[in-house]
Chain A
Amino acid sequence: AQSVTQLDSQVPVFEEAPVELRCNYSSSVSVYLFWYVQYPNQGLQLLLKYLSGSTLVKGINGFEAEFNKSQTSFHLRKPSVHISDTAEYFCAVIPLSGGYNKLIFGAGTRLAVHP
């Protein structure tokens, strides 16, 4: 079975400061990794995904994430956040076995950017 742990339920940060949202996963098989963002009263939007290749993945809105296989982590980073980045962020995996692309989500991290 697979599971995703987002280590921080809430992350407060000041505008223009850097931020890191942490994600660890557990799986007996290889996985694809994703970060989604949910703005208030909206659906989920894909920020970035790691499938293979370079472990540093760049996404939309200036976000990037680094896949670390030995630590089974996929932390999300942004060097300078804006008020508009205030949202809930979800880390998710798709296990490569089974052939079914059902996303397994973490509990989410609420990012609150303050002026």
Chain B
Amino acid sequence: DSGVTQTPKHLITATGQRVTLRCSPRSGDLSVYWYQQSLDQGLQFLIQYYNGEERAKGNILERFSAQQFPDLHSELNLSSLELGDSALYFCASSPGGTSGLQETQYFGPGTRLLVL
């Protein structure tokens, strides 16, 4: 158990809909990362937040957005869903301290999204 929790575990929805994925980082971790794992694209970095502020952006679609709240939990919002958005979405967290790039990222169990 990494200490990172994600809800829900599974989500089934229809095209055009909007969903919200939630992530609670390990206690004390300030950085949260979102990754998408799909069959055709593999594991891709989407976005990172540090202590409530966006830190880095990867291949995140404009239909997707994220935020990190004062209690440090994060939400990933996916809108106007398409079939190709079906994937496993992982959240990871790290302390966000002075270790910087050397920090280990601890991954949650993921949310499996199926768009029908």
Interface secondary structure of B, over-half rule: strand
The answer to whether A100 and B55 have CB atoms under 8 Å apart is yes
Q: Most chain-A CB neighbours within 10 Å: which of B56, B105, B106, B108?
A: B105
- With most chain B CB atoms within 10 A of its CB, the pick from A49, A90, A102 is A102
A-contact 0/1 string along B77-116, CB 8 Å cutoff? 0000000000000101010000011111111111000000
- Taking a contact as CB atoms under 8 Å apart, the answer to whether A100 and B56 are in contact is yes
Question: CA–CA, A98 to B103, complex, Å?
Answer: 15
Chain B proximity mask over A41-60: 1 for CB below 8 Å, otherwise 0:
11111100101000000000
Interface size class of A (residues with CB under 8 A): 20 to 34
Distance A101 CA – B33 CA, assembled complex (angstroms) = 9
Residues of B within 8 A of A (CB): 2, 4, 31, 33, 35, 42-45, 48, 55-56, 58, 90, 92, 94, 100-110
